[in-house]
Chain A
């Protein structure tokens, strides 16, 4: 190991290289940034995305000539979002953090989505498609340097979303693939503007920018505390009755 005896710290040399992994939506994005700049990022949609986080990172490191040993932290989007992608992204991030012995930070995909459009004067509704006719949603307000989340992430049906936004007295910018999916319903509300494809998905490059201050302040998460945020939690038991009948077979 290079630099034996000197544990690589996030503030080493004043530069913190962070790898971001975002897989909350049907898109996988991976980015590498150093706190000053995004050095490289890749963002993929479609069928190949599910196994693409690790190869994408390898490609980015190869293309930038960065050594994995120089990476000081891992930032991961923890959802809310879709199971399939989140499981892969979160596990990939945790594995990297543990193998490289570097800190990890988990951030809400809705925060990342909202942060990307923080330069608006409008209120921001971050809306991710949750499938099954539901969306994940939080409301934000822009403040200098960032956004402040005003409502806890919730899973709502489209009419619930429009009701929430109708109650907002200011103009609203609704971003995310969930907002785009229900564009028609949202645009019937006069004060609501719906974002386009550039703001449809939480991007790892944004995630990295959002996460760097956390690394600089050493506000890390414990790897085991990082779990995908599904929102649709259910403690219910399956109402098995006929299984018992055939269970002996």
Chain B
């Protein structure tokens, strides 16, 4: 289950996140990878908008976790500042919102073994990493049977940006 998308502007990246939002279910884990400035928080802002979350979403790099309430309860997590696996475990991610929260985890790929098995990976790459270009390659990959069931709907939702799948 993979799809590669191309977002031309920052707003476009946000819109991809927004398009994904209706497909999310409680206890989902969305793992966001990509270098600093790749658009992870921007993508989460789109997801938040799609879930009807009205609070402004900012990077939780220094707060580690920020919870939001919308159609679903969401925990936006950033493990960038953590050095030890124990620190991530101490966040108690699987207990947030009684274990019902959708987890959106920036830099989550390094601690994937601590996240729920069923997860969606969102990999953001700047097409021109040295320039000021806003173009991003967004690779989506799903794991687990629940994403398998949702994949056709997801493919439709992100169809406008899809370059390969």
Query: Which residue numbers of A lie inside 8 Å of B, CB to CB?
Result: 26, 46-47, 82-85, 87, 131-132, 230, 232-240, 242-243, 245-247, 249
Chain B residues near A240 (CB-CB < 8 A): 83, 110
Q: Is the CB of A243 within 8 A of B107?
A: yes
* Chain B interface residue bracket vs A: 20 to 34
Q: Could you say which of A46, A87, A131, A238 contacts B82, with CB atoms under 8 Å apart?
A: A238
Q: Is the CB of A245 within 8 A of B35?
A: yes
Q: Is the CB of A238 within 8 A of B83?
A: yes
Chain B residues near A247 (CB-CB < 8 A): 36
Cβ of A242 to closest chain B Cβ, rounded Å: 7
**Stretch of B8-16, B46-54, B93-101, B130-138 on the interface side:** B93-101
Say whether B144 faces chain A, with CB atoms less than 8 Å apart.
no
Say whether B88 faces chain A, with CB atoms less than 8 Å apart.
yes
Q: Which of B2-53 contact A (CB under 8 A)?
A: 33, 35-37
Whether A230 contacts B82 in the complex (CB less than 8 A), given A47-B98, A83-B95, comes out as: no
Complexed CA–CA distance, A24 and B37 (Å): 39
**Chain B 55-93 near chain A by CB (<8 Å), digits 1 or 0:** 000000000000000000000000110111111111110
Q: Is the CB of A83 within 8 A of B90?
A: yes
Chain B residues near A82 (CB-CB < 8 A): 92, 95
Say whether B111 faces chain A, with CB atoms less than 8 Å apart.
yes
Q: Is the CB of A246 within 8 A of B86?
A: no
Main SS at interface, chain A: loop
Q: Is the CB of A238 within 8 A of B92?
A: no
Complexed CA–CA distance, A132 and B97 (Å): 15
Apart from A235-B84, A237-B85, 4 more pairs, CB < 8 Å: A233-B86, A236-B85, A238-B85, A239-B110
Interface centre among B94, B111, B116 (most CB of A within 10 A): B94
Cβ of A132 to closest chain B Cβ, rounded Å: 6
Q: Is the CB of A234 within 8 A of B89?
A: yes
Complexed CA–CA distance, A232 and B99 (Å): 18
Complexed CA–CA distance, A132 and B99 (Å): 10
Chain A residues near B110 (CB-CB < 8 A): 238-240, 243
Chain B residues near A132 (CB-CB < 8 A): 94, 116
Q: Which single residue of chain B is at the shortest CB-CB distance from A248? A: B36
Complexed CA–CA distance, A237 and B107 (Å): 15
Q: Which single residue of chain A is at the shortest CB-CB distance from B88? A: A238
Chain B residues near A246 (CB-CB < 8 A): 35-37
Chain B residues near A46 (CB-CB < 8 A): 98
Q: Could you say which of A131, A236, A237, A238 contacts B99, with CB atoms under 8 Å apart?
A: A131
Q: Could you say which of A85, A232, A234, A249 contacts B84, with CB atoms under 8 Å apart?
A: A234
Complexed CA–CA distance, A47 and B73 (Å): 12
Q: Which single residue of chain A is at the shortest CB-CB distance from B90? A: A83
Cβ of A77 to closest chain B Cβ, rounded Å: 16
Contact sample, A vs B, 23 pairs, CB 8 Å cutoff = A46-B98, A82-B92, A84-B92, A84-B96, A87-B92, A131-B94, A132-B116, A230-B90, A234-B84, A234-B85, A234-B89, A235-B84, A236-B85, A237-B85, A238-B83, A238-B85, A238-B111, A240-B83, A240-B110, A242-B35, A245-B35, A246-B36, A249-B35
**Chain B 96-115 near chain A by CB (<8 Å), digits 1 or 0:** 11110000000100110000
Chain A residues near B96 (CB-CB < 8 A): 84
Cβ of A147 to closest chain B Cβ, rounded Å: 28
Complexed CA–CA distance, A233 and B84 (Å): 11
Chain A residues near B91 (CB-CB < 8 A): 83
Complexed CA–CA distance, A233 and B87 (Å): 10
Q: Could you say which of B37, B79, B86, B116 contacts A234, with CB atoms under 8 Å apart?
A: B86
Complexed CA–CA distance, A131 and B79 (Å): 21
Chain B residues near A232 (CB-CB < 8 A): 89
Q: Is the CB of A131 within 8 A of B85?
A: no
Complexed CA–CA distance, A239 and B108 (Å): 11
Cβ of A133 to closest chain B Cβ, rounded Å: 9
Q: Is the CB of A237 within 8 A of B36?
A: no
